[in-house]
Structure 1
Amino acid sequence: MIVEMQEPDIRVSGHLGVARFLIRCGIRKDDGTEQASWMRSSYHLEKRDGQWRIAHEHFSVPFDFDNGEAQFGLEP
């Protein structure tokens, strides 16, 4: 399994927060080849009882606006 996360951009205001980052997800096969791509990710956080909790998370693959196709080969 491949999970490689870039440094998140975190913004906090009071008891609410948002974290945005790119994450590379995929698999590494036994022969060493990889099937992986970069995805966008965001977490919407809420502080309850002194603890930050994930209220919502989102992952998406960038796509081409012209043809609607996913762009799995992009690099940051």
Structure 2
Amino acid sequence: MEVKIGVQHAPREITLESGQSAEDVERAVAEALGGKSTVLTLVDDHGRKVLVPSERLAYVEIGEPTARKVGFGTL
């Protein structure tokens, strides 16, 4: 699952590949924005944690990973 996180006052977004389901990521974002948690915590495919303060979240985009094309085929 590809997740993109926009952070206020940061020039770049955070992009990570997560093994969590879309529902789990959405639940974590809802808890962070709803005040249940002060930090959005997600884990990527390599086991690294990404922590973003709730008050700094600009947006969260949840999507499927794009398949990377390999080779020299014609377009």
Q: What TM-score comes out, normalization by structure 2 length?
A: 0.29
Higher relative contact order (CA 8 A, sep 6+): 2
* Structure with greater strand percent: 1
Q: What TM-score comes out, normalization by structure 1 length?
A: 0.29
* Structure with greater helix percent: 2
